[in-house]
Chain A
């Protein structure tokens, strides 16, 4: 079975584009908009990777990531955000929570490279 990715973002356009891209790469994708949905999805099925936004409508992304980490401690998490943070600062402050930090302004190819580095190809 192909590897699965849980994607959390409150913006529908972002969810749709990244979901379509990951599906084209062969991954199974479950896209959710809220922190509650993300926690439910993570309990239902163990994802191979979690990609989460920093700013969610009803909750802080970092809080959500922390709770996901409690549920699925071995699952790598990518923080994908439009809030620009210095990469060095991000590594130092978020290193214990997320496996990678990527700005949304980066091309999809960069995101794909990071996914491949963390969990390999889709099959």
Chain B
């Protein structure tokens, strides 16, 4: 398995780093959105609680005022109890509303002003039910007649409605912001996914490219290997053939030498088997080779004869008028000389008559020497010849 190329490895690493960064960014943004949503949810609950208290104040004021008037008419202690409970609950509602709006200074100040007026109504109610409990009907009638009554309550209710509407507006605004935030979150997540998809696609493309490159390299290596193997086989075959040829040539040389030596020995054997004297001469009548019969007849060793003059072992009869040695003349003229009388000179002084036949030795058309064959003759023949 080939290792990934260094540059491809670093590219894939950076792409995965990019993927991780995108995932981390999207996750961080999503967490931040969740936190915001939670905070928004708390705020919405708080706002709805505030609105609820505003409405409770309005309805409690209207209820308490009604119960106060009912008690003024009936003087029934149950109505008084209801009236007191209603105003007590109203007081609690106002305390809660104050607590809920303390973070919003403008609303808080407006609420305080309204609460002051509500408390004035509550004080009137207490004055009325105290007078009624004391059976002071005149005072009660006077108090009720002097009271603006529903106008005051209507003014307080309008003030509370304004505060409530302002809270609703804030809710609407918050919902709008939340919607935009949600949409933005969707876009961020969508873009993150798309970006990661692109990055993963890039990683896949790089890997695919690398795999394709590896396949190409593998194919090239396989082909190169096959070519190399082919060359090695071819070269091996050539070397084997050359080696076989050299072996054959070497054996041929050995064979040639052995067969020639064999042939030479055989020829030597034939020549040595001849009883006549066989002497190989140069043109200057120097002895170069002899057969065994020469050694045997003359009693001389090979080395004393070979390279020496023929005259040392053979005395050639010559015509004094002719001057030139007849053997030298025959070789010079390139002709044979047959049965020429000679005397073989033994080492012990013996003089053995014979008849010499000279055959010119030719190399192409040139006479390079001669072969002298001396046949020993009986005394009578030799005397006649000499």
Contact B248 A105 (CB under 8 A): no
Q: For chains A and B in complex, what number of residue pairs have CB atoms within 8 angstroms?
A: 41
Stretch at the interface among A11-19, A38-46, A56-64, A114-122: A11-19
Q: How far is the CA of A83 from the CA of B256 in the complex (A)?
A: 15
Contact A109 B263 (CB under 8 A): no
Give the interface residue-count category, chain B.
10 to 19
Contact B260 A21 (CB under 8 A): no
Q: How far is the CA of A17 from the CA of B251 in the complex (A)?
A: 6
Mask, A74-115, CB within 8 Å of B = 1, is 000000001100000000000000000000110111000000
Contact B259 A24 (CB under 8 A): no
Q: How far is the CA of A76 from the CA of B347 in the complex (A)?
A: 56
Name the prevailing secondary structure of the A interface residues.
helix
Which residues of A (1-49) have their CB < 8 Å from a CB of B? 11, 13-14, 17-18, 20-21, 24
Contact B251 A20 (CB under 8 A): yes
Give the interface residue-count category, chain A.
10 to 19
Name the prevailing secondary structure of the B interface residues.
helix
Contact B258 A107 (CB under 8 A): no
Q: How far is the CA of A74 from the CA of B244 in the complex (A)?
A: 32
Contact B256 A107 (CB under 8 A): yes
CB neighbours (8 Å) of A11 from chain B are 258, 262
Q: How far is the CA of A90 from the CA of B266 in the complex (A)?
A: 19
Task: Please judge, given known A-B contacts A11-B258, A18-B255, whether A108 and B266 are in contact too, CB under 8 Å.
Answer: no
CB-CB nearest in chain A for B266: A82
CB distance from B282 to the nearest CB of A (A): 27
Most chain A C-beta atoms within 10 Å of own C-beta, residue among B244, B252, B254, B259: B259
A-binding residues in B (CB < 8 A): 244, 247-248, 251-252, 254-256, 258-260, 262-263, 266
Known: A13-B254, A24-B248, A108-B252. 11 other contacts (CB 8 A): A11-B262, A17-B255, A17-B258, A20-B251, A24-B244, A24-B251, A82-B263, A104-B262, A107-B255, A108-B248, A108-B251
7 shortest A-B CB distances, which residue pairs? A104-B259, A82-B262, A21-B251, A13-B258, A17-B254, A108-B255, A105-B259
Sampled A-B contacts (5; CB under 8 Å): A11-B262, A17-B258, A21-B251, A105-B259, A108-B251
